[in-house]
Structure 1
Amino acid sequence: MPWNRPARDTAPESETVRLPFADRAEAGRVLAARLVPLGLGDPVVLALPRGGVPVGYEVARRLSAPDQPVPLDVLVTRKIGYPRQPELGVGAIAEGGEPVFDHDLMERLGLMEADLAATVAAERAELARRIRAYRGDRPLPPVAGRAVVIVDDGLATGGTARAALRAVRAKGPSRLVLAVPVGAAETIRVLEPEADDLVVLATPWAFRAVGQWYRHFDQLTDDDVLSWLDRAAGGSPR
């Protein structure tokens, strides 16, 4: 089935977004207000941990109706790093999906997919560990035939977001939305064909890192993620 061309939603001048955001919660509230007009039917919010979870919490809360809460869960992803320089991402993998590689970068580095077999295996193992840590034996919410909103706190290179979008697309959602408070303009352009709708509040000039666009950008832990998920489910924070 052909994909719809995504609607790229960036803030018009009359709705200028003030940067930096105070924190991820504020960014999530502003982002949620931009998602409401899409009129998403039976949505589910999947946040990329760790930083996307407090953003996703605000999105799910705003999209919920009193008699129909919108579920929030995590979609776990892992970067696939260049073996000689692990912080350099040459691909990514999301749970339920296959590795997605940056073939242009790999060609420049003289890499073949076979060269990354050991790295991919290690990242699959870490992916499984994190899924167990966040959800135990609980599966992802069903997404087939539903509107799925994938949320992160920002997009720099977009590798993990691309892997997440492709993994979810394969499960047959009725509508696939990527929503982020801030992102690098070129990354947003490249990711447009991967989603039905792309909602981004700001694409600032001289984008170096996601954290520069937040006043408070604490490094989150697995316990922080579990606490936000507990809050979304109506439980007591851990």
Structure 2
Amino acid sequence: MSPAVLDRWEERLQDIFYGRPYDMHDAALADTVFKFPLDIKPFKDMIEGMRMDTRKCRYENFQELYLYCYYVAGTVGLMSVPVMGIAPDSLVSAQGVYNAALYLGIGNQLTNILRDVGEDASRGRVYLPQDELAQFGLRDNDVFSGKVTDRWREFMKEQITRARFYFNLAAVGASQLDKASRWPGWSSLLLYRMILDSIESNDYDNLTKRAYVGRTKKLLMLPLAYTRSLSRHSLILN
């Protein structure tokens, strides 16, 4: 996507928040902005994440990668909370719920990255911290080679552990959403964690295989997500 297109998107976004939608698609968002207390910043930050993809395909460290994950996915969590709502009797502060939504977005994007390593490599992109690859004696060429080695497995274990850490942070606020929103929130959280399980089941081969969760497993996960949504206390996921 060209910088000019993204600039135009940002102009239209500003118009939406001023109540001046350009077309029917913009009108739908303008209506949402009118009905819910949405902040424009996460929307603008998401566009900035798209700009990053036009000029950057390597990340020197996790700090850089975290910023990218915030722009393209953490923002979605921040956009969603005003629409999903916070329970009046929430056991954590509103800021705590927003933080949890942010962390869910970070965990989801880290999982997307780990799932899509092979596909991204085929496009010449490596969304993995370069310094951490080096700590395990790995380089871009090892990613492009498509060979799963013991070094790669150990590296992947660390990356999966980090993604699960963010899901645990997200769990703190998942049950503090408005009652109608808790089940969808938990479903998203558990589904993405299952993708990490699938990577492990593939013996950490995300270079030539794309981890996925089958329909049956998704359906079987829903009752668990519903049960989790009934608890108002923070849950640490195993």
TM above 0.5: no
| TM norm structure 1 | 0.28
Structure in which a larger fraction of residues adopt strand: 1
Q: Give 1 or 2 for the bigger CA radius of gyration.
A: 2
Tell me which protein shows more helix as a share of its residues.
Answer: 2
TM-score computed with the length of structure 2 as normaliser: 0.28
Structure with greater contact order relative to length (CA < 8 Å, sep ≥ 6)? 1
